Amino acid sequence: MRSLNEGDLCLKAWPVLAIVFIEAILFLAHWFIYRTWIVFMGNPSPAATLALGTALFLLAFSFIVAALLSFRFSNPLVTLLYKIAAVWLGFLNFFFLAACLCWLAWYALLLSRLVPDPSRNQPFIATFLFALAFAAGTYGLLNARSIRIRRISIKLPNLPQSWRGRTALLVSDLHLGHVNGLRFSRRVAALAASLHPHIVFLPGDFFDGAKSDPGRLAAPFKQLSPPFGIYFSTGNHDEFGDDAQHIAALTRAGVRVLHNEKVTVDGLQVLGVAYYDSTHILRLRATLESLRLDPAHPSVLLNHVPNRLPMIEQAGVSLQLSGHTHGGQIFPFTWLIRRVFGDFTYGLQRFGALQVYTSSGAGTWGPPMRVGTHPEIVLLEFE
């Protein structure tokens, strides 16, 4: 009994430790920005120093506090707080990079010996780099709301003649919640409907996972009426909190939720695996075996994360549709995510006989910004 209680305590302690660790990183990043600005701007007045320090101290806790509140409450005040904190988190990323570059530029200037008094250039260095960071964040806010339509031709083996010339719409990672709300849902649904796809695929993270009214957010998708239906499999954010409520909301909106299931649509096998089961090798293998794919017909798998590809290819899947990566969403995470997922971070790729399309997604998580990536919905044209 004692070991069981200790195990339970360890499981309960992990989220707290994770929050403390993340908050420590955020606090240090804010301190570094504060210290850089004070040093490079030449000791501002006491009032300005106090105001800057107080503002950054409060902002250092804003995202964690807003995120915790967003999982418990859904009201205009929490939504506003979360939006402000999320926007600031994006600017923090670029201001931190600017602070790092300030010191690099300063030391480079010192080593170069090009000017007799390098300290006189510190205010110019800081002003220029922080202004550039602000411009990058502003661009990211605007870019994240400009959804592109990408058209991709797909050739699948044994594709029935009836599917040639038809289109499938891929819409991933909307992250509907406090930042991407009802207006965003309506805009994406209207854009999707205007393309008149024959079938629609939603491979996860339709919801952001915070407390919200999922029925209201999913309702705009009722206007989609593709002749061969709308199909969805869960992503990690859809499984936060009450995932049954999320699934019920999508079902009411006319979306077929595939929870480790297969349906055959006019000769095309459509499969969906739940995010949780896709992360466990044994569960995924058992799920794929239970679906009993027919090698004589092509198959499309909705799998939120572009991983476990050797197993999925071995199962005989023709095409996997994924999201999750956001392409990295904002620099420098664009570089970091590519180190994790490689070529499968974004776009249409091959893994042996398996084709994989990973979408950068239509929405955002955390900062409502995109720098180095673009939001998209993808129209797949079957040849």
The predicted-structure confidence for 321-334, as pLDDT tens digits, reads as follows 999 999 999 999 99
pLDDT digits (tens, 9 = 90+) for 187-208: 999 999 999 999 999 999 999 9
| The pLDDT value given to residue 45 | 85
Do residues 51 and 138 both lie within one domain? yes
Residues 6 or more apart in contact with residue 161 via CB below 8 angstroms? none
Residues 212, 317 share a domain:
yes
Q: List the structure tokens of 268.
A: 């095309």
Q: Final residue of a domain: which of 94, 128, 143?
A: 143
What confidence score (pLDDT) does residue 44 get?
A: 79
Question: Do residue 155 and residue 125 come from a single domain?
Answer: no
| Tally of domains in the chain | 2
Kindly state whether residues 215 and 363 are assigned to the same domain.
yes
- Same domain? For 122 and 221 the reply is no
102 shares a domain with 40: yes
In which band, very low, low, confident or very high, does the pLDDT at 11 lie, cut at 50, 70 and 90? very low
Last residue in a domain, options 120, 143, 166: 143
Model confidence over 80-92: pLDDT tens digits? 999 999 999 999 9
Place of tokens 């071995």: 314
Amino acid identity of residue 330, one-letter, is: I
CA dihedral sign of residues 329, 330, 332, 335: positive
| 199 lies in the same domain as 123 | no
Residue 334's CB: how many other CB atoms inside 10 A?
20
Confidence at residue 214, expressed as pLDDT on a 0 to 100 scale: 95
pLDDT at 13 over 80: no
- Evaluate if residue 5 carries a pLDDT over 70: no
Q: Are residues 43 and 76 in the same domain?
A: yes
Please indicate, yes or no, whether residues 249 and 364 belong to a single structural domain of this protein: yes
- Please give the pLDDT value at position 372: 96
Query: Of 126, 143, 160, which residue is a domain's last?
Result: 143
Q: Which residues contact 376 (CB under 8 A, 6 or more apart)?
A: 147, 148, 149, 150, 359, 360, 361, 362
Enclosing domain of residue 8: 2-143
Look at residues 312, 331, 325, 330 and name the one whose alpha carbon lies nearest to residue 359: 325
Residues 39 and 188 in one domain: no
- Residues 272, 204: one domain? yes
Which pLDDT score, from 0 to 100, does residue 18 have?
A: 86
Residue 209 belongs to domain with CATH number: 3.60.21.10
The β-bridge partners of 319 are: 300, 355
Domain match, 82 and 174 both: no
> Is there a contact between 207 and 232 (Cβ–Cβ < 8 Å)?
no
Contact 126, 104 (CB under 8 A): no
Question: Across residues 251-275, what is the average pLDDT?
Answer: 96
Calculate the alpha carbon distances from 291 to 107, 204, 261, 268, 271 in Å: 61, 20, 7, 14, 8
> Over the stretch 307-322, which tens digit does the pLDDT of each residue have?
999 999 999 999 999 9
Question: Does the structure show a pLDDT above 50 at 2?
Answer: no
Structure tokens at 180: 């991407």
